[in-house]
Structure 1
Amino acid sequence: MTSPTPASHRSTPDAALVPAVFLASPPSDDELQAWADEIRAIEEGQSEPDWNELFSDDSTPWPVSHDLDSPGEDAAAVSESEADARPIDLVHTLVAVAVRRRQHTAEEYRLMTLILDRAVADPDPWVGPDPTLDHAWEDSRGRSVAAVRRDRADLAERAAAAEIAVHLRLAEQTVRTRVGHARTLQARCGLAWRAFLDGRISESHAIRIARLAGSLPDDREAWTAFDTGATERAERAERLTPSSFDTAARALREKVHAESIEERHRRAALDRGVWLTAELDGMATLTALLPADRAHAAMTRLDRAARHLATADGEERTLAQLRADAVADLLAGGSVAERPAAAPAPTAGDSKASGSGRPTVVVTVPSLTLLGRDDTPATVDGYGPIDLDTARRLAGGASSWIRVLTHPVTGVPLALDRTRYRVTTALRRWLGVTSPTCVFPGCARPARDCDIHHLTAWADGGATDHDNLEPECRHHHRLRHETKWEPLKNPGDVDLRWRSPLGHEIEVDPPPF
């Protein structure tokens, strides 16, 4: 039994199955404006979307019910037509829905790219008028006209990416990454880009193609060969799952790549690094990007140590647990400790795990929690909540304590003298508690890695105290000074807001912890 042929596979697309926005000819500016007005009206509650009309066409022969007021009710309910439908008909409908979802995703990529491309072509709405057009203009930093215009285009693109990110609740890097993938597909893999817009390949396939095509040298023949091999020959991208396609596409890349693998390896090794990702329940993932030979050597050593520990009497840990304990011991203390199975794994507070060069870990513990009179969780700087036993043990092993002086009645941290401009270490620590991350919406860079910004400039009489200081990462600090992004905080206000270049006001994110 064969699956239905989606409309995008046919030589002549069926207009009933392909929304107008995805037809070969792009929508007009009037159509785009009409869609934008309709979406804005829905967002502002001025109109309700007709979900049945939106989701019903020849590929969906049954009515679709989307009750926005009670999304959890009747989740498993089906219409009378669906109850009587054959399983193959339901599968056919599912395929049609998947095709439309892919098309909508591709259209998101296209519109993001269009917005950023227009920002580069016309920076004025994002960064203000071009000062180089004034014949009397001189740059205070000594830049040439060309350099200033390049900076304006770059900042406009960054400001536009931030605008998209705060509206879609995405990270700015996610927006820029998606636009980068779309630009790569448009420039190097036209067949794959068309297949993505048509819904014939998924977002995962498109990303894999873009990443691999982006790593090819500046050679149009290589791009065409890779695009054709990945998209047309044997229809690899359409027939294979993402993981299977990835294997085939990497092999295809090797065939068309003109540069030697030795040279590529030397360049790729420059990207090596280690990353920490917070997980649930007091856990974290440590990821390392290493040259393959060293990674395999490290894994072999860990496996050998784990298998040796597994032979000890009373050992009940699995090999996976033993490998994890071994890598923690080696990185934190320099040697693998043999412990009976009943003993707890070493943690950051154990002297045996930490060795003589114990790293500094910033832990915030409410005093009542420390005394056992409250269960408010402690937090580790840059990670989040940890269990109370670990927090008490870390506090008990601390060699020093840091106090924050506050008003005896209000509890507000005391302001510093107006004559001091520089932010003291104690005040920076306090800001790290009240604003753990950059205050730009959606930015998760830890406050310890941020610039401390005076909301009211020091030169304009702004004080160096907690209610006039906020952490901003270097990127968003630059956007604040060199584009139309502007922080807003009225006297007496507690919460900070941002005004975007297009005039939208966005509240800062709530504290993560």
Structure 2
Amino acid sequence: MIDLPLLSTGELLRGIVDEVTEIRARDYAVMQKIAELNRRGAAAELGYKNLQDVLRHAVRWDKNTAKRWVEQAALLSSEITLTGSEVAARLPIAAAAAAEGAVSIDHVAVVAEAMKTLPAEREGQMVDYARQFAPAAVRVLGKRLIYALFQSDPEPRDPEPESARNRLTLRQSKTGDWKLAATMDALTGAKFATLLDPLAKPRPTTAEGPDPRSLDERQGDALAELVDLTLRADQLPEHGGEPVTLTLTMRYQDLAEQIGAATLDNGEPIPADQVRQLACSAGIIPMVMGSRSQPLDVGRRSRLFTAGIRRALVARDHGCAFPGCHRPPKHCDAHHVHHWADGGDTRVDNGVLLCRHHHTLIHRSGWEVTMEHGLPVFYAPAWLDPLRTPRRNQLHTAA
């Protein structure tokens, strides 16, 4: 029996990782047995309607759990045809990863859902991602890969009427208060959120403690302040040292030819025709990009990250660069990869966008970030990944 108090924190975490891996491998072994029961028609043999009902009684699973295990077992196991020949598993790469204990049944479910639409050659990419991240992050990657696959398809000929896309209900109550409810299309909503976000941040902690307001209260106060700012059009909230900017990224050729789509800084795709309309009334900041989408010449050297350098980081990172994070640029700080205090310069190739959570993590934990070929690359602490495998955030670049 191991005396747990004698183990270091890293040893305890490594032990958890190893044991969860063993549990997942045993889960895969269970699924193989379930698949074999299904192949031999065990439900009919035992007088049940289906195998889910057998398992509900055998291991006391509820209906949805039993159904999920039977479905995943079918995806990860080979099948025997009526002629006796063996057909490979529908998700062979996911099956191999599950056998190793590298992915869970929840990961398999997410990969299977995405692979209903994605071509077979994308299974490897999905499983590689599942080996590193939680099912929710893998689901986001799958959605973005699917959108990238079909983004150049022609838009529907009969779009939803414009009047139905943006709606605002504004009513004044008998007490004099106003109540409103709104529905916005993707582009309008993104612009509104971009304006509201810097005004809705929690107030700095004081001697009286942290900001006591809830998110809804902060956003309500921010809307009130936004109304005042609108009445003073020469005073606008700022992000990163410049007036509020909504960033869209797309190839210039696609913009000119009105094909494909642009990507908002929150990852939302916007059709090219809407981008062209927006460009008629918005400033356009061109950037020269390299073959790996790294900005080549924006901004200038300064102790603090200037607006020009931040624009370049937004164009390159598209949001928090930490692997698996989907936070948009407006929620990110610019971080010196080689710290300023240690002699690092303020340059595009020494900066990376990180959300507040991951910015703190980089400063205080065993995670490390380096710049390789002009792009940020992350390395997990040894307890999480003894091989220190390089990682990048694929969510922002999936499309």
TM-score with structure 2 length normalisation?
A: 0.46
Q: Higher Cα Rg: structure 1 or 2?
A: 1
Q: When you count strand as a share of all residues, which structure comes out higher? A: 2
TM-score with structure 1 length normalisation?
A: 0.37
